[in-house]
Amino acid sequence: MSLSDADHDIVVDEIGREPTRAEAALFENLWSEHCAYRSSRPLLTAFDSEGDQVVIGPGDDAAVVSLPSHGDGEEMYITMGVESHNHPSYVDPFDGAATGVGGIVRDTLSMGAYPIALADCLYFGDFEREHSRYLFEGVVEGISHYGNCIGVPTVTGSVAFHDDYEGNPLVNVSCIGLMEPERTITAEAQEPGNKLVLVGNSTGRDGLGGASFASEDLAEDAETEDRPAVQVGDPYTEKLLIECNEALLDEALVESARDLGAAGLGGASSELVAKGGLGAEIELDRVHEREPDMNAMEYLLAESQERMVYEVAPENVDRVAELAERYDLGCSVIGELTAPGTNYVCTFEGETVVDVEAEFLGDGAPMNDLPSEEPPEQERDLPTVNLSEAFERIVASPNTASKRWVYRQYDHEVQVRTSVLPGDDAALLAIREAGTGLAFSAGADPNWTDAAPYEGARAVALENATNVAAKGAVPHAAVDCLNGGNPEKPDVYGGFKGIVDGLADMCSDLDVPVVGGNVSLYNDSVTGPIPPTPTLALVGVKEGYDAPPMDLSGEGTLVVVGDAALEGEADPRLGGSEYTAVFGGTDAFPELPADPTGLVQTIAEVADEDHVLASHDVSHGGLAVALAEMVHEDAGASVDVETVERGTRKRLLFNERPGRVVFETTDPAAVHEAFDGVAPVTELGEANGSNHLSLTVNDETLQYHASEITDLRSTIDDELA
């Protein structure tokens, strides 16, 4: 990739001369889709990012959100960020995924926070394909290696398989950080005369052109040809950087900060300067490097990992260097900030190689005005499948099967905050400083958004909100990672617009501010574009750190809330379901609740009641899969579902309308009362100590021992363990 003729002409017209080689490379990367959001920025105004809890919204390395405090708890802030490392993870799954973790953790550090939790949302081609499994294994290994080594728990996430990720998997990683309000810093330069100090790993040639690489379709030979664009991570250095960052903050030595990610030093330093409305003079010769004979462009654009650039007052530079040495990190004073109205200037070996206005470098790229086509609504065309076959194949599908193989490789209890562990609807973290429980859910469903981008994205937001509500938490804030194919294709861009609007509309309906995010386009390869994929990472808050488990106790009545179909009010649809993915066919997407806010709030309130013994949301795979997931060796259930007509049985059991929750309760009347006027409540049967699931639909009964269900759900373990 190189600077296009049109962009070249804009640059020449602005600076009044031909750009130097280093300037052209810098513009190429900072004006790429990956950095400049040229095709997506016009759409992102759809998101509501404001709220009393929002301290710093979109535009910084990570968002900052205040938490409610309970009891004697103190005021605390969290940071929220999300990053995609899609192309690198195809070329080199281990390093691509590992450096995605490293990057989002450094985004957290640059705001003044300590990283406390990670979520990984992973999307691959057909699980039956060897290449998909190779990518899957490498990505999980990379995430677990990096996260475990730096001591940050991976507590939640999602895994999905879909044919259209075969040539372009997605690796979306989210991080939550925690800090006291007075430690907050930003990526906005503060004062002329302050020094720019580079701290961390030495600079090499790895990751050159990573930003521009991420803005291109993947070629057939990408796994070999594009390997130099993939960064190589060192988690042990990142751990030292985390602790050094804490020490710098303890002594209030940092005025502003930016992590070195896309476009390397050139990207981080110019963006920091531009945000502060200042200029800078940088001497590239001062950068501590690990490879000989590097040129100016390589110093500027290498994406070597585990590096931060800090703004430091002159009188504090020596102390910063001392602390860097204590943690065995490199430290270079590379330049200083200059007055407003001055340029961003870089010199190398006595020669000026960059001399441009920082704001033009960061924000001068023109936005794209692209044509789009809306996808048609799917008609109903469903195959007839035996009920037991449908149950067994859907429960065993890699999309709905147990993901234990993934999360057992992560240390999800390091830092001893994880109250609800992976495998449940949402993780729950104990923020003891505030007396607050922080629920954390992240994911998307490509089947939903492939079938209906707008409605599917609304469903993704509702499902994540329902996940935290099922653990008794009220949705508080979210960040998104919007993944799409080549936006120059009208049908692809139409699908992308659909997921943006759908996610924005449902988050607005739920009163959940979307405080930041990431966009990844050109996820296209010789196999075609990916499904439009709106990963959402959402947090909820509650008093205390206890939550009802997903597992049945065996002592209560089972009810499902929010399922109008069981009340005979609607014809359940199977559009975007695992049923149609497994057996073929199409259908319209399920109709979503009319009052999602009232529904989610009531779910959260009821989940916290003493009479609730277990709770679990109903989504992927439908009611049948939800019930199967709740049964275990010590508790089972007897469920009886009556249908108006026999043809609706599969639609009742495998419909994936989100916003539904199964409660095991000792007081079903209280559940009915709580949801009166909000959503229908249907009694399904009783939990018991039988350690099996008995599921009767009209005159047909399915019966499975817990061990049989475990065997069905062990698809991924059986193949990869």
Residue 427 CA to residue 418 CA, distance in Å, equals 7
Residue 74 CA to residue 55 CA, distance in Å, equals 16
In this model, does residue 669 exceed pLDDT 80? yes
Amino acid at 253: L
Asked if 48 contacts 507 with a C-beta cutoff of 8 angstroms, the reply is: yes
Run of H or E including 362: helix 358-363
At 132, phi and psi to the nearest 5? Answer: -65, -45
**162 assigned binding-site residue:** no
**303 assigned binding-site residue:** yes
What's the average model confidence in pLDDT over 152-164?
97
DSSP codes of every residue in 35-72: HH-TTTGGGGGGS----TTEEE-TTSSSEEEEE---TT
Residue 39 CA to residue 444 CA, distance in Å, equals 22
Of the ranges 46-60, 250-264, 635-649, which one carries the lowest mean pLDDT score?
635-649
Rg (CA), the chain: 26
User: What's residue 699's pLDDT?
Assistant: 81
Q: How many helices (H) and strands (E) does the chain have?
A: 25, 28
Active site residues: 34, 85
Amino acid at 607: A
What pLDDT, in 10s, does the model give residues 24-45?
Answer: 999 999 999 989 999 999 999 9
Residue 299 CA to residue 287 CA, distance in Å, equals 8
Asked if 588 contacts 457 with a C-beta cutoff of 8 angstroms, the reply is: no
Asked if 619 contacts 603 with a C-beta cutoff of 8 angstroms, the reply is: no
- Share the mean pLDDT of the chain: 93
Helix (H, G, I), strand (E, B) or coil at 528: strand
Across 607-642, b (16+ Cβ under 10 Å) vs e yields bbbebbbbbbbbbbbbbbbbbbbbbbeebbbbbebe
What pLDDT, in 10s, does the model give residues 415-435?
Answer: 999 999 999 999 999 999 999
In this model, does residue 651 exceed pLDDT 80? no
Residue 458 CA to residue 93 CA, distance in Å, equals 30
Judged on CB neighbours under 10 Å (0-12, 13-18, 19+), 713 is: buried
Asked if 88 contacts 233 with a C-beta cutoff of 8 angstroms, the reply is: no
User: What's residue 214's pLDDT?
Assistant: 53
Residue 405 CA to residue 721 CA, distance in Å, equals 7
Residue 175 CA to residue 238 CA, distance in Å, equals 15
Residue 466 CA to residue 268 CA, distance in Å, equals 37
In this model, does residue 224 exceed pLDDT 90? no
Token pair 């430290």 is at which residue? 331
**563 assigned binding-site residue:** no
**145 assigned binding-site residue:** no
**86 assigned binding-site residue:** yes
Amino acid at 133: R
User: What's residue 221's pLDDT?
Assistant: 54
Of the ranges 254-268, 318-332, 563-577, which one carries the lowest mean pLDDT score?
563-577
In this model, does residue 450 exceed pLDDT 90? yes
What pLDDT, in 10s, does the model give residues 471-485?
Answer: 999 999 999 999 999
Residue 170 CA to residue 523 CA, distance in Å, equals 8
Asked if 167 contacts 135 with a C-beta cutoff of 8 angstroms, the reply is: no
Name the pLDDT band for 562 (thresholds 50, 70, 90): confident
- Whole-model pTM: value is 0.95
In this model, does residue 233 exceed pLDDT 80? yes
Asked if 231 contacts 210 with a C-beta cutoff of 8 angstroms, the reply is: yes
Residue 623 CA to residue 203 CA, distance in Å, equals 52
Residue 521 CA to residue 633 CA, distance in Å, equals 45
* Count of beta carbons in the 10 Å neighbourhood of residue 350: 7
Run of H or E including 599: helix 596-607
At 47, phi and psi to the nearest 5? Answer: -85, 140
**703 assigned binding-site residue:** no
Outline where DSSP puts E strands in 191-327.
Answer: 195-200, 256-259, 279-283, 307-312
In this model, does residue 210 exceed pLDDT 70? no
**85 assigned binding-site residue:** yes
Going along the chain from its start, the domains and CATH numbers come out as 32-171+416-546 (3.30.1330.10), 186-366 (3.90.650.10), 548-720 (3.90.650.10)
Asked if 333 contacts 197 with a C-beta cutoff of 8 angstroms, the reply is: yes
**409 assigned binding-site residue:** no
User: What's residue 508's pLDDT?
Assistant: 98
What pLDDT, in 10s, does the model give residues 455-469?
Answer: 999 999 999 999 999
Residue 194 CA to residue 413 CA, distance in Å, equals 40
Name the pLDDT band for 222 (thresholds 50, 70, 90): low
Instruction: Work out the angle between the directed axes of helices 93-109 and 235-250 (0-180°, nearest 10).
Output: 0
**17 assigned binding-site residue:** no
Distances in Å between the alpha carbon of 210 and those of 132, 195, 274, 588, 707? 23, 27, 21, 40, 47
DSSP character for 401? Answer: S
The CA-based dihedral angle spanning residues 325, 328, 329, 330, taken in that order and rounded to the nearest 10 degrees: 70
User: What's residue 226's pLDDT?
Assistant: 46
Name the pLDDT band for 641 (thresholds 50, 70, 90): confident
What pLDDT, in 10s, does the model give residues 334-354?
Answer: 999 999 999 999 999 999 999
Judged on CB neighbours under 10 Å (0-12, 13-18, 19+), 328 is: exposed
> What percent helix, strand, coil does the chain show, rounded to 5?
35, 25, 35
Largest CA distance in the chain: 86
In this model, does residue 323 exceed pLDDT 60? yes
Which ranges constitute the DSSP H helices of 86-220? 86-91, 93-109, 130-150, 210-213
User: What's residue 643's pLDDT?
Assistant: 66
Helix (H, G, I), strand (E, B) or coil at 331: strand
What pLDDT, in 10s, does the model give residues 80-116?
Answer: 999 999 999 999 999 999 999 999 999 999 999 999 9
Helix (H, G, I), strand (E, B) or coil at 20: coil
Asked if 237 contacts 201 with a C-beta cutoff of 8 angstroms, the reply is: yes
Percent of the chain with pLDDT over 70: 95
**231 assigned binding-site residue:** yes
Distances in Å between the alpha carbon of 325 and those of 204, 289, 307, 678? 20, 16, 14, 60
Read off the tokens for 175: 């991080």
Residue 90 CA to residue 100 CA, distance in Å, equals 13
**520 assigned binding-site residue:** yes
DSSP character for 675? Answer: T
